[in-house]
Structure 1
Protein backbone atom coordinates (compact mmCIF):
# COMPACT_ATOMS: atom_id res chain seq x y z
CA UNK A 1 0.00 0.00 0.00
CA UNK A 2 1.33 3.43 -0.95
CA UNK A 3 1.83 5.95 1.83
CA UNK A 4 1.87 9.74 1.85
CA UNK A 5 4.09 11.58 4.33
CA UNK A 6 3.48 14.99 5.87
CA UNK A 7 6.38 16.52 7.80
CA UNK A 8 6.50 19.58 10.03
CA UNK A 9 9.80 20.48 11.74
CA UNK A 10 11.02 23.45 13.75
CA UNK A 11 13.70 24.43 16.27
CA UNK A 12 14.29 27.45 18.51
CA UNK A 13 17.00 28.45 20.98
CA UNK A 14 14.51 29.24 23.74
CA UNK A 15 14.62 32.12 26.22
CA UNK A 16 17.55 31.12 28.42
CA UNK A 17 20.30 29.46 26.34
CA UNK A 18 22.75 31.60 24.37
CA UNK A 19 23.02 29.19 21.43
CA UNK A 20 20.96 26.37 19.95
CA UNK A 21 22.65 23.02 20.57
CA UNK A 22 19.83 21.09 18.90
CA UNK A 23 19.96 19.88 15.28
CA UNK A 24 17.53 17.85 13.21
CA UNK A 25 17.17 15.85 10.01
CA UNK A 26 13.73 15.64 8.40
CA UNK A 27 14.11 14.16 4.92
CA UNK A 28 12.54 10.83 3.95
CA UNK A 29 13.63 8.20 4.96
CA UNK A 30 15.35 9.76 8.04
CA UNK A 31 13.66 11.85 10.75
CA UNK A 32 16.00 12.51 13.69
CA UNK A 33 16.64 15.02 16.48
CA UNK A 34 20.01 15.50 18.21
CA UNK A 35 20.42 17.53 21.42
CA UNK A 36 24.02 18.55 22.13
CA UNK A 37 24.98 17.93 25.74
CA UNK A 38 24.75 21.23 27.61
CA UNK A 39 27.81 22.09 29.68
CA UNK A 40 30.07 19.94 27.53
CA UNK A 41 32.49 21.23 24.91
CA UNK A 42 31.10 21.68 21.39
CA UNK A 43 27.51 20.69 22.20
CA UNK A 44 26.21 22.47 19.11
CA UNK A 45 28.97 21.03 16.94
CA UNK A 46 28.30 17.56 18.33
CA UNK A 47 24.63 17.58 17.32
CA UNK A 48 25.47 19.06 13.91
CA UNK A 49 28.17 16.43 13.30
CA UNK A 50 25.80 13.60 14.24
CA UNK A 51 23.05 14.81 11.92
CA UNK A 52 25.49 15.42 9.05
CA UNK A 53 26.86 11.88 9.42
CA UNK A 54 23.35 10.39 9.32
CA UNK A 55 22.46 12.37 6.20
CA UNK A 56 25.67 11.33 4.48
CA UNK A 57 25.25 7.61 5.20
CA UNK A 58 21.51 7.48 4.42
CA UNK A 59 20.76 10.14 1.78
CA UNK A 60 17.29 11.54 1.16
CA UNK A 61 15.29 9.34 -1.19
CA UNK A 62 17.24 6.18 -0.42
CA UNK A 63 15.77 2.85 0.71
CA UNK A 64 17.90 1.75 3.69
CA UNK A 65 17.88 -1.53 5.54
CA UNK A 66 17.90 -1.66 9.36
CA UNK A 67 21.62 -2.46 9.19
CA UNK A 68 22.18 0.67 7.08
CA UNK A 69 20.57 2.77 9.80
CA UNK A 70 22.61 1.10 12.54
CA UNK A 71 25.78 1.77 10.56
CA UNK A 72 24.73 5.40 10.13
CA UNK A 73 24.30 5.72 13.90
CA UNK A 74 27.77 4.22 14.42
CA UNK A 75 29.15 6.71 11.89
CA UNK A 76 27.47 9.55 13.80
CA UNK A 77 29.10 8.35 17.00
CA UNK A 78 32.55 8.38 15.35
CA UNK A 79 31.89 11.87 13.99
CA UNK A 80 31.08 13.19 17.47
CA UNK A 81 34.10 11.49 19.04
CA UNK A 82 36.35 13.05 16.40
CA UNK A 83 35.44 16.48 17.77
CA UNK A 84 37.25 15.81 21.05
CA UNK A 85 41.00 15.96 21.39
CA UNK A 86 42.84 12.84 22.61
CA UNK A 87 43.53 14.54 25.94
CA UNK A 88 39.78 14.91 26.47
CA UNK A 89 39.37 11.13 26.75
CA UNK A 90 37.84 10.32 30.12
CA UNK A 91 36.94 13.96 30.76
CA UNK A 92 33.94 16.05 29.73
CA UNK A 93 33.82 15.77 25.97
CA UNK A 94 31.57 16.53 23.02
CA UNK A 95 28.33 14.56 23.16
CA UNK A 96 24.77 14.52 21.96
CA UNK A 97 21.53 12.61 22.24
CA UNK A 98 20.04 11.09 19.11
CA UNK A 99 16.51 9.89 18.58
CA UNK A 100 14.22 9.44 15.63
CA UNK A 101 12.42 7.31 13.09
CA UNK A 102 13.68 5.79 9.84
CA UNK A 103 11.68 4.18 7.05
CA UNK A 104 13.48 0.88 6.37
CA UNK A 105 13.16 -2.00 3.93
CA UNK A 106 13.08 -5.53 5.39
CA UNK A 107 12.54 -9.03 3.99
CA UNK A 108 8.88 -8.77 5.03
CA UNK A 109 8.31 -5.29 3.57
CA UNK A 110 8.69 -1.68 4.75
CA UNK A 111 8.83 -0.90 8.46
CA UNK A 112 9.39 2.07 10.73
CA UNK A 113 12.56 1.81 12.80
CA UNK A 114 12.59 3.87 16.01
CA UNK A 115 16.07 4.59 17.39
CA UNK A 116 17.03 6.20 20.69
CA UNK A 117 20.18 7.23 22.55
CA UNK A 118 19.74 9.66 25.45
CA UNK A 119 16.68 11.53 26.68
CA UNK A 120 15.22 13.05 23.53
CA UNK A 121 12.02 11.20 22.69
CA UNK A 122 9.78 9.63 20.05
CA UNK A 123 6.04 9.59 20.66
CA UNK A 124 3.21 7.93 18.76
CA UNK A 125 -0.08 9.81 18.24
CA UNK A 126 -3.22 8.13 16.92
CA UNK A 127 -5.53 11.13 17.10
CA UNK A 128 -6.71 10.22 20.59
CA UNK A 129 -3.78 9.12 22.73
CA UNK A 130 -0.16 10.24 22.97
CA UNK A 131 2.19 7.36 23.77
CA UNK A 132 5.91 7.57 24.47
CA UNK A 133 7.69 4.94 22.37
CA UNK A 134 11.26 5.46 23.54
CA UNK A 135 12.64 5.05 27.05
CA UNK A 136 14.96 7.76 28.40
CA UNK A 137 18.58 6.92 29.10
CA UNK A 138 18.77 9.06 32.22
CA UNK A 139 19.47 8.90 35.92
CA UNK A 140 15.89 9.89 36.68
CA UNK A 141 14.48 7.14 34.44
CA UNK A 142 16.52 4.56 36.35
CA UNK A 143 15.04 5.86 39.62
CA UNK A 144 11.56 5.68 38.11
CA UNK A 145 12.16 2.12 36.92
CA UNK A 146 13.05 1.01 40.45
CA UNK A 147 10.16 2.87 42.04
CA UNK A 148 12.50 5.09 44.04
CA UNK A 149 10.69 8.24 42.88
CA UNK A 150 7.31 9.11 41.39
CA UNK A 151 6.75 10.75 37.97
CA UNK A 152 5.83 13.95 39.81
CA UNK A 153 9.11 13.89 41.75
CA UNK A 154 11.02 13.20 38.54
CA UNK A 155 9.96 16.57 37.12
CA UNK A 156 11.94 18.41 39.81
CA UNK A 157 14.67 15.91 40.67
CA UNK A 158 18.17 17.49 40.88
CA UNK A 159 19.54 14.86 38.46
CA UNK A 160 16.82 15.30 35.84
CA UNK A 161 19.41 16.58 33.33
CA UNK A 162 21.85 13.68 33.81
CA UNK A 163 21.81 11.21 30.91
CA UNK A 164 23.35 7.75 31.02
CA UNK A 165 23.94 7.14 27.30
CA UNK A 166 25.00 9.52 24.51
CA UNK A 167 26.80 9.70 21.20
CA UNK A 168 30.46 10.53 21.73
CA UNK A 169 30.82 8.96 25.16
CA UNK A 170 32.33 5.63 24.05
CA UNK A 171 33.83 4.03 20.96
CA UNK A 172 30.77 1.80 20.57
CA UNK A 173 27.24 3.02 21.26
CA UNK A 174 24.18 0.77 21.60
CA UNK A 175 20.90 2.46 20.73
CA UNK A 176 17.53 1.11 21.75
CA UNK A 177 15.64 0.01 18.64
CA UNK A 178 11.97 -0.74 17.95
CA UNK A 179 10.77 -1.96 14.55
CA UNK A 180 7.11 -1.22 13.79
CA UNK A 181 4.97 -2.27 10.80
CA UNK A 182 4.55 0.47 8.17
CA UNK A 183 0.81 -0.12 7.79
CA UNK A 184 -2.19 2.13 8.07
CA UNK A 185 -2.08 5.71 9.29
CA UNK A 186 0.05 6.91 12.18
CA UNK A 187 1.83 10.02 13.47
CA UNK A 188 5.23 10.22 15.16
CA UNK A 189 6.40 13.20 17.21
CA UNK A 190 10.17 13.43 17.69
CA UNK A 191 11.48 16.03 20.12
CA UNK A 192 14.30 17.22 22.34
CA UNK A 193 13.65 17.49 26.07
CA UNK A 194 13.18 21.24 25.71
CA UNK A 195 9.59 20.39 24.72
CA UNK A 196 8.73 17.72 27.27
CA UNK A 197 10.20 19.57 30.24
CA UNK A 198 7.90 22.52 29.54
CA UNK A 199 4.66 20.92 28.35
CA UNK A 200 2.54 18.13 29.80
CA UNK A 201 1.51 15.18 27.66
CA UNK A 202 -2.08 16.43 27.91
CA UNK A 203 -1.21 19.85 26.45
CA UNK A 204 0.94 18.30 23.71
CA UNK A 205 -1.97 16.03 22.76
CA UNK A 206 -4.36 19.01 22.70
CA UNK A 207 -2.07 20.89 20.31
CA UNK A 208 -1.65 17.83 18.07
CA UNK A 209 -5.42 17.41 18.00
CA UNK A 210 -5.92 21.07 17.07
CA UNK A 211 -7.90 21.80 20.23
CA UNK A 212 -5.31 24.37 21.34
CA UNK A 213 -3.68 26.75 18.84
CA UNK A 214 -0.44 28.64 19.46
CA UNK A 215 0.80 31.50 17.30
CA UNK A 216 -0.19 32.54 13.79
CA UNK A 217 1.29 29.56 11.95
CA UNK A 218 -0.68 28.29 8.93
CA UNK A 219 -2.73 25.11 9.23
CA UNK A 220 -0.48 22.04 9.17
CA UNK A 221 2.50 23.78 10.78
CA UNK A 222 2.13 21.80 13.97
CA UNK A 223 5.83 21.65 14.95
CA UNK A 224 6.18 25.48 15.16
CA UNK A 225 3.07 25.58 17.36
CA UNK A 226 4.53 23.02 19.77
CA UNK A 227 7.86 24.84 19.88
CA UNK A 228 6.16 28.19 20.54
CA UNK A 229 4.06 26.67 23.31
CA UNK A 230 7.20 25.38 25.05
CA UNK A 231 8.89 28.74 24.56
CA UNK A 232 5.94 30.60 26.07
CA UNK A 233 5.91 28.13 28.99
CA UNK A 234 9.46 29.15 29.89
CA UNK A 235 11.82 28.17 27.10
CA UNK A 236 14.48 27.09 29.57
CA UNK A 237 16.23 24.88 26.99
CA UNK A 238 16.55 24.59 23.22
CA UNK A 239 13.34 23.22 21.69
CA UNK A 240 13.13 21.01 18.60
CA UNK A 241 10.14 19.11 17.22
CA UNK A 242 9.48 16.97 14.16
CA UNK A 243 5.92 15.77 13.49
CA UNK A 244 5.77 12.99 10.90
CA UNK A 245 2.28 11.99 9.76
CA UNK A 246 1.97 8.83 7.67
CA UNK A 247 -1.23 8.48 5.64
CA UNK A 248 -2.26 5.29 3.86
CA UNK A 249 -3.49 6.01 0.34
CA UNK A 250 -6.66 3.97 -0.09
CA UNK A 251 -8.51 3.07 -3.26
CA UNK A 252 -12.29 3.40 -3.49
CA UNK A 253 -13.01 -0.32 -3.96
CA UNK A 254 -14.59 -2.07 -1.01
CA UNK A 255 -12.07 -4.87 -1.03
CA UNK A 256 -9.08 -2.54 -0.93
CA UNK A 257 -10.69 -0.39 1.76
CA UNK A 258 -11.31 -3.44 3.92
CA UNK A 259 -7.74 -4.60 3.41
CA UNK A 260 -6.49 -1.18 4.49
CA UNK A 261 -8.64 -1.26 7.63
CA UNK A 262 -7.37 -4.72 8.51
CA UNK A 263 -3.76 -3.66 8.02
CA UNK A 264 -4.24 -0.56 10.15
CA UNK A 265 -5.36 -2.63 13.09
CA UNK A 266 -2.68 -5.32 12.74
CA UNK A 267 0.14 -4.83 15.22
CA UNK A 268 1.01 -8.49 15.77
CA UNK A 269 4.12 -8.20 13.59
CA UNK A 270 5.73 -5.55 15.78
CA UNK A 271 9.29 -6.55 16.64
CA UNK A 272 10.74 -5.03 19.79
CA UNK A 273 14.51 -4.95 19.94
CA UNK A 274 15.32 -3.13 23.16
CA UNK A 275 19.10 -2.95 22.95
CA UNK A 276 20.78 -3.52 19.58
CA UNK A 277 24.23 -2.18 18.61
CA UNK A 278 24.35 0.12 16.33
CA UNK A 279 19.51 19.53 8.77
CA UNK A 280 19.05 21.47 10.55
Structure 2
Protein backbone atom coordinates (compact mmCIF):
# COMPACT_ATOMS: atom_id res chain seq x y z
CA UNK A 1 0.00 0.00 0.00
CA UNK A 2 1.37 3.40 -0.98
CA UNK A 3 2.44 5.70 1.81
CA UNK A 4 0.79 9.07 1.26
CA UNK A 5 1.08 12.45 2.96
CA UNK A 6 -1.34 15.15 1.90
CA UNK A 7 -2.46 18.64 2.79
CA UNK A 8 -5.05 21.13 1.61
CA UNK A 9 -5.79 24.84 1.81
CA UNK A 10 -8.48 27.15 0.45
CA UNK A 11 -9.36 30.85 0.40
CA UNK A 12 -12.32 32.80 -0.91
CA UNK A 13 -9.98 35.30 -2.58
CA UNK A 14 -10.34 39.07 -2.80
CA UNK A 15 -13.32 39.36 -5.15
CA UNK A 16 -15.79 36.55 -4.49
CA UNK A 17 -18.25 36.77 -1.63
CA UNK A 18 -18.60 33.01 -1.25
CA UNK A 19 -16.19 30.11 -1.58
CA UNK A 20 -17.68 27.71 -4.14
CA UNK A 21 -14.70 25.33 -4.08
CA UNK A 22 -14.69 22.01 -2.23
CA UNK A 23 -11.81 19.66 -1.55
CA UNK A 24 -11.34 16.06 -0.47
CA UNK A 25 -8.34 14.72 1.39
CA UNK A 26 -9.16 11.06 1.86
CA UNK A 27 -7.34 7.79 2.45
CA UNK A 28 -7.12 6.87 -1.22
CA UNK A 29 -8.93 9.65 -3.09
CA UNK A 30 -7.98 13.33 -3.31
CA UNK A 31 -9.92 15.92 -5.28
CA UNK A 32 -10.86 19.53 -5.90
CA UNK A 33 -14.23 20.69 -7.24
CA UNK A 34 -14.85 24.27 -8.37
CA UNK A 35 -18.51 25.31 -8.36
CA UNK A 36 -19.39 27.13 -11.53
CA UNK A 37 -19.01 30.88 -11.10
CA UNK A 38 -22.08 32.86 -12.09
CA UNK A 39 -24.32 29.81 -11.74
CA UNK A 40 -26.78 29.11 -8.97
CA UNK A 41 -25.45 27.26 -5.92
CA UNK A 42 -22.02 26.40 -7.21
CA UNK A 43 -20.97 25.60 -3.66
CA UNK A 44 -23.76 23.01 -3.41
CA UNK A 45 -22.67 21.39 -6.67
CA UNK A 46 -19.01 21.17 -5.66
CA UNK A 47 -19.96 19.73 -2.27
CA UNK A 48 -22.12 17.06 -3.93
CA UNK A 49 -19.22 16.12 -6.20
CA UNK A 50 -16.86 15.74 -3.26
CA UNK A 51 -19.47 13.77 -1.32
CA UNK A 52 -19.72 11.26 -4.18
CA UNK A 53 -15.93 10.91 -4.21
CA UNK A 54 -15.87 10.48 -0.44
CA UNK A 55 -18.09 7.43 -0.94
CA UNK A 56 -15.60 6.22 -3.57
CA UNK A 57 -12.86 6.55 -0.96
CA UNK A 58 -14.67 3.93 1.12
CA UNK A 59 -14.65 1.35 -1.70
CA UNK A 60 -12.04 -1.36 -1.19
CA UNK A 61 -9.94 -2.53 -4.13
CA UNK A 62 -11.10 0.31 -6.36
CA UNK A 63 -10.46 0.09 -10.07
CA UNK A 64 -10.68 2.75 -12.82
CA UNK A 65 -14.29 1.78 -13.54
CA UNK A 66 -15.23 2.61 -9.94
CA UNK A 67 -13.77 6.09 -10.44
CA UNK A 68 -15.74 6.59 -13.63
CA UNK A 69 -18.94 5.37 -11.97
CA UNK A 70 -18.46 7.70 -8.99
CA UNK A 71 -18.25 10.68 -11.32
CA UNK A 72 -21.42 9.53 -13.08
CA UNK A 73 -23.18 9.31 -9.72
CA UNK A 74 -21.94 12.78 -8.83
CA UNK A 75 -23.53 14.16 -11.98
CA UNK A 76 -26.78 12.33 -11.18
CA UNK A 77 -26.76 13.69 -7.61
CA UNK A 78 -26.37 17.26 -8.81
CA UNK A 79 -29.22 16.92 -11.31
CA UNK A 80 -31.45 15.26 -8.70
CA UNK A 81 -30.80 18.03 -6.19
CA UNK A 82 -31.80 20.64 -8.76
CA UNK A 83 -35.06 18.77 -9.44
CA UNK A 84 -35.83 18.58 -5.74
CA UNK A 85 -35.07 22.27 -5.21
CA UNK A 86 -35.69 24.35 -8.36
CA UNK A 87 -33.73 27.24 -6.87
CA UNK A 88 -30.61 25.13 -7.47
CA UNK A 89 -31.31 24.76 -11.18
CA UNK A 90 -28.31 25.49 -13.39
CA UNK A 91 -25.68 24.65 -10.80
CA UNK A 92 -22.56 22.87 -11.94
CA UNK A 93 -18.98 22.16 -10.99
CA UNK A 94 -15.63 21.06 -12.29
CA UNK A 95 -13.92 18.15 -10.57
CA UNK A 96 -10.41 16.77 -10.77
CA UNK A 97 -8.16 14.61 -8.66
CA UNK A 98 -6.38 11.35 -7.94
CA UNK A 99 -7.40 7.91 -6.78
CA UNK A 100 -5.30 4.92 -5.84
CA UNK A 101 -6.68 1.87 -7.67
CA UNK A 102 -5.82 -1.76 -8.28
CA UNK A 103 -5.23 -2.95 -11.85
CA UNK A 104 -4.42 -6.63 -12.40
CA UNK A 105 -3.26 -6.91 -8.80
CA UNK A 106 -0.94 -3.89 -8.98
CA UNK A 107 -1.44 -0.53 -7.33
CA UNK A 108 -1.85 2.36 -9.75
CA UNK A 109 -2.91 6.00 -9.81
CA UNK A 110 -5.96 7.18 -11.70
CA UNK A 111 -5.96 10.87 -12.59
CA UNK A 112 -9.47 12.09 -13.40
CA UNK A 113 -10.76 15.38 -14.73
CA UNK A 114 -13.91 17.18 -15.84
CA UNK A 115 -13.51 20.91 -16.47
CA UNK A 116 -10.60 23.29 -16.03
CA UNK A 117 -9.35 22.50 -12.55
CA UNK A 118 -5.99 20.77 -12.80
CA UNK A 119 -3.71 17.99 -11.63
CA UNK A 120 0.05 18.49 -11.90
CA UNK A 121 2.94 16.11 -11.30
CA UNK A 122 6.10 17.46 -9.67
CA UNK A 123 9.22 15.30 -9.69
CA UNK A 124 12.91 16.12 -9.97
CA UNK A 125 12.14 19.83 -9.97
CA UNK A 126 9.94 19.56 -13.07
CA UNK A 127 6.26 20.52 -13.06
CA UNK A 128 3.97 18.82 -15.58
CA UNK A 129 0.27 19.40 -16.09
CA UNK A 130 -1.36 15.98 -16.37
CA UNK A 131 -4.93 17.06 -17.10
CA UNK A 132 -6.31 18.84 -20.15
CA UNK A 133 -8.49 21.92 -19.62
CA UNK A 134 -11.98 21.52 -21.04
CA UNK A 135 -12.45 25.01 -22.44
CA UNK A 136 -13.68 26.41 -25.75
CA UNK A 137 -10.92 26.51 -28.44
CA UNK A 138 -11.28 30.25 -28.94
CA UNK A 139 -10.51 30.70 -25.26
CA UNK A 140 -7.23 28.79 -25.24
CA UNK A 141 -5.19 31.96 -25.79
CA UNK A 142 -6.89 33.65 -22.84
CA UNK A 143 -6.16 33.15 -19.19
CA UNK A 144 -9.73 31.96 -18.67
CA UNK A 145 -12.27 30.42 -20.99
CA UNK A 146 -15.73 29.00 -21.36
CA UNK A 147 -15.83 25.54 -19.80
CA UNK A 148 -17.03 22.88 -22.22
CA UNK A 149 -17.35 19.97 -19.79
CA UNK A 150 -18.72 20.07 -16.23
CA UNK A 151 -20.81 18.06 -13.79
CA UNK A 152 -24.49 19.00 -13.71
CA UNK A 153 -25.30 18.52 -17.39
CA UNK A 154 -27.56 16.34 -19.54
CA UNK A 155 -26.12 14.17 -20.95
CA UNK A 156 -23.50 13.70 -18.29
CA UNK A 157 -19.93 14.66 -19.19
CA UNK A 158 -17.35 12.06 -20.17
CA UNK A 159 -14.49 12.21 -17.67
CA UNK A 160 -10.87 12.07 -18.73
CA UNK A 161 -9.08 9.20 -16.98
CA UNK A 162 -5.36 8.42 -17.02
CA UNK A 163 -3.83 5.35 -15.34
CA UNK A 164 -0.29 5.93 -14.08
CA UNK A 165 2.25 3.82 -12.18
CA UNK A 166 2.33 4.36 -8.42
CA UNK A 167 5.96 5.42 -7.96
CA UNK A 168 7.29 6.79 -4.65
CA UNK A 169 9.03 10.13 -4.74
CA UNK A 170 6.38 11.94 -6.80
CA UNK A 171 4.41 14.97 -5.60
CA UNK A 172 1.00 15.77 -7.08
CA UNK A 173 -0.78 19.10 -7.05
CA UNK A 174 -4.57 19.34 -7.44
CA UNK A 175 -6.00 22.84 -7.77
CA UNK A 176 -8.91 24.99 -8.86
CA UNK A 177 -8.24 27.53 -11.58
CA UNK A 178 -7.97 30.23 -8.94
CA UNK A 179 -4.36 29.10 -8.55
CA UNK A 180 -3.36 28.83 -12.21
CA UNK A 181 -5.08 32.16 -12.92
CA UNK A 182 -2.66 33.97 -10.61
CA UNK A 183 0.57 31.92 -10.61
CA UNK A 184 2.62 30.60 -13.51
CA UNK A 185 4.28 27.21 -13.61
CA UNK A 186 7.64 28.59 -12.49
CA UNK A 187 6.15 30.16 -9.34
CA UNK A 188 4.16 27.02 -8.54
CA UNK A 189 7.22 24.81 -8.98
CA UNK A 190 9.29 27.08 -6.72
CA UNK A 191 6.83 26.68 -3.85
CA UNK A 192 6.60 22.92 -4.32
CA UNK A 193 10.40 22.72 -4.22
CA UNK A 194 10.76 24.97 -1.18
CA UNK A 195 8.02 23.53 1.02
CA UNK A 196 8.62 19.90 1.95
CA UNK A 197 5.50 19.58 4.09
CA UNK A 198 2.35 19.15 1.93
CA UNK A 199 0.17 21.22 4.25
CA UNK A 200 2.63 24.10 4.25
CA UNK A 201 3.04 23.82 0.48
CA UNK A 202 -0.73 24.03 -0.03
CA UNK A 203 -1.06 26.99 2.32
CA UNK A 204 1.81 28.88 0.70
CA UNK A 205 0.43 28.36 -2.82
CA UNK A 206 -2.97 29.67 -1.77
CA UNK A 207 -1.40 32.63 0.05
CA UNK A 208 0.64 33.63 -2.99
CA UNK A 209 -2.34 33.30 -5.32
CA UNK A 210 -4.38 35.64 -3.13
CA UNK A 211 -1.53 38.14 -2.88
CA UNK A 212 -1.09 38.01 -6.67
CA UNK A 213 -4.69 39.03 -7.24
CA UNK A 214 -7.10 36.60 -5.66
CA UNK A 215 -9.66 37.07 -8.42
CA UNK A 216 -11.30 33.73 -7.73
CA UNK A 217 -11.61 31.17 -4.97
CA UNK A 218 -8.33 29.28 -4.59
CA UNK A 219 -8.14 25.66 -3.46
CA UNK A 220 -5.07 23.44 -3.43
CA UNK A 221 -4.43 19.83 -2.43
CA UNK A 222 -0.84 18.55 -2.34
CA UNK A 223 -0.34 14.78 -2.36
CA UNK A 224 3.06 13.22 -1.71
CA UNK A 225 3.74 9.58 -2.54
CA UNK A 226 6.63 8.93 -0.18
CA UNK A 227 8.90 5.95 0.38
CA UNK A 228 7.48 3.65 3.04
**TM-score calculated relative to the size of structure 1:** 0.76
Aligned partner of 2:11 in structure 1 is: 12
Q: Distance in 2 between matches of 1:126 and 1:219?
A: 14
Q: How far 1:56 moved relative to its partner?
A: 2.1
Question: Is the CA contact (8 Å cut-off) linking 1:28 and 1:103 kept in structure 2?
Answer: no
Question: Is the CA contact (8 Å cut-off) linking 1:34 and 1:96 kept in structure 2?
Answer: yes
1:183 and 2:182 correspond: no
1:55 and 2:54 correspond: yes
Q: Distance in 2 between matches of 1:25 and 1:3?
A: 18
Shift of the 219–114 alpha-carbon distance from structure 1 to 2, 3 Å rule, reads closer
Question: Is the CA contact (8 Å cut-off) linking 2:198 and 2:222 kept in structure 1?
Answer: no
Aligned partner of 2:121 in structure 1 is: 124
Shift of the 219–239 alpha-carbon distance from structure 1 to 2, 3 Å rule, reads closer
Q: How far 1:58 moved relative to its partner?
A: 3.0
Aligned length: 227
Aligned partner of 1:72 in structure 2 is: 70
- The match for 1:243 among 203, 207, 222 is 222
Q: How far 1:143 moved relative to its partner?
A: 3.8
* SS of residue paired to 1:105: strand
1:23 and 2:22 correspond: yes
Question: Is the CA contact (8 Å cut-off) linking 2:198 and 2:223 kept in structure 1?
Answer: no
Q: Distance in 2 between matches of 1:58 and 1:121?
A: 20
Shift of the 96–238 alpha-carbon distance from structure 1 to 2, 3 Å rule, reads same
1:100 and 2:97 correspond: yes
**TM-score calculated relative to the size of structure 2:** 0.92
Question: Is the CA contact (8 Å cut-off) linking 2:26 and 2:57 kept in structure 1?
Answer: no
Q: Distance in 2 between matches of 1:114 and 1:87?
A: 32
Q: How far 1:52 moved relative to its partner?
A: 0.8
Shift of the 63–221 alpha-carbon distance from structure 1 to 2, 3 Å rule, reads farther
CA RMSD of aligned residues (A): 2.3
Question: Is the CA contact (8 Å cut-off) linking 1:99 and 1:117 kept in structure 2?
Answer: yes
Aligned partner of 1:41 in structure 2 is: 40
Q: How far 1:27 moved relative to its partner?
A: 0.7
Q: Distance in 2 between matches of 1:8 and 1:51?
A: 16
* SS of residue paired to 1:68: helix
Aligned partner of 1:109 in structure 2 is: 106
Q: Which has the higher strand share?
A: 2
Larger radius of gyration: 1
Structure 1 runs of 4+ aligned residues shifted over 4 Å read none
Q: Distance in 2 between matches of 1:133 and 1:48?
A: 24
Q: How far 1:183 moved relative to its partner?
A: 2.4
Q: Distance in 2 between matches of 1:17 and 1:190?
A: 21
Aligned partner of 1:168 in structure 2 is: 152
Q: How far 1:171 moved relative to its partner?
A: 3.6
Question: Is the CA contact (8 Å cut-off) linking 1:58 and 1:68 kept in structure 2?
Answer: no
Q: Distance in 1 between matches of 2:56 and 2:125?
A: 36
- The match for 1:234 among 209, 213, 216 is 213
Q: Distance in 1 between matches of 2:124 and 2:47?
A: 32
Unaligned runs of 5+ in 1: 250-280
* SS of residue paired to 1:99: strand
